[in-house]
Amino acid sequence: MEKRVHNFNPGPAALPLPVLKEIKKDFLSFRGSGMSITEISHRSALFDEVLNNAVNRTKRLLDLDDSYHVLFIQGGASMQFCMIPMNLALPDRPVNYINTGTWSTKAIKEAQIQGKDVRVIATSEEKDFSYLPYDYTVDKQASYLHFTSNNTIKGTQWQQFPDREGVPLISDMSSDFMSRPFDVKPFGLIYAGAQKNLGPSGIAMVIIREDMLERVPDNMPTMLKYTTFKDNRSLFNTPPTFAIYVIDLVLKWLEETIGGLKKMESINREKASLIYEVIDNSKIYQGIAEVKSRSMMNLTFRLRDEELEGRFLAEATENGLIGLKGHRSVGGCRASLYNAITMESVKSLIEFMREFEEKL
């Protein structure tokens, strides 16, 4: 087997090695069928089992009751930015958003394009989204309150979700979904692009509560209605079968190998704390996010000048530490520690960071 690098890419991101090995083993003949998973019919019993397993594993991991539906929708999280207000904004009632960065801003824009009464009840824009705003008032008549649970670019994460004041919560959880347990009951809808903690790119998982489906207008394009996906088990048209297959394998790994979300959270917190310790005790590394708002998924930091950052990133790549360059919109450095990132990779990064500083 070829040597693998330490993959800190923010998405598409690392997948668990056991999952990749299982894909390789079964790729040419899925479960003895003589066909690849990419070749079997989405209407076949073989794929039906894959789809059902992915849904049932999701429900077990998140402790979902029958009032929640698990859907698979193409277009990634960005498609959800427009589908949410289109489907779930109630007539003559506002929609509330908390703006914590790029992805929140994009979601807000999509609702505004549709002419919805968009009210941004809190933002951290004045400090370049380096913290999470906790001072806000929710419109009690709002159709929903939307927030992004983890900001991949700035490295902030909600440790306690916003107080909803009885309004249904909707969250873009693309970059920290399945990284920790949480109470799903306040949420009317959760969505996550798969390419960070779930699987390959090109698909989003959407979890929607039954009562929210009652809001979906009839006079909408068929493929933009949540009811289409719920009524047809995400099989109205041909879904991305390979992506759903990989998601099922990742969920199986998370459930059976890791041991569930509590265990995953413990591992993730340890990984993040080890790297933050290096940053906080360094003379050349400086964290970007405010401490109380820090993410355990995307750790953002800078070095004392851009020239040194360039050297750091170049040498990291030479040492097999890939994907540490910050988002193009902000620069700096970022280590994405999604579920599949091993402690071995974390320790390799820590060792490199310390050695790099000691050489200066």
- Please give the distance of CA 210 from its chain centroid, rounded to a whole number: 23
Q: Which of 103, 116, 225, 271 is catalytic?
A: 103
Q: Are 190 and 197 in contact (CB under 8 A)?
A: no
Q: Are 352 and 322 in contact (CB under 8 A)?
A: no
Instruction: Determine phi and psi for 123, rounding to 5 degrees.
Output: -155, 155
- Is-catalytic flag, 183? no
Strand pairing class (203-209; 68-74): antiparallel
- What value, to the nearest 5°, has the Cα angle with vertex 242 and ends 241 and 243? 90
Helices and strands (DSSP H and E) totals, the chain: 10, 14
- Is-catalytic flag, 172? yes
- Is-catalytic flag, 116? no
> DSSP assignment, residue 112?
H
Helices of type H across the chain:
17-26, 45-62, 76-88, 102-113, 210-213, 226-231, 241-252, 261-280, 306-318, 343-359
Instruction: Determine phi and psi for 353, rounding to 5 degrees.
Output: -60, -45
Q: Which of 154, 172, 176, 325 is catalytic?
A: 172
DSSP secondary structure letters along 131-162: S--------TT-S-EEEESEETTTTEE-SSPP
- Among candidate residues 171, 165, 205, the one with its CA nearest the CA of residue 187: 171
Q: Which of 116, 154, 196, 230 is catalytic?
A: 196
Residue numbers annotated as active site = 103, 172, 196
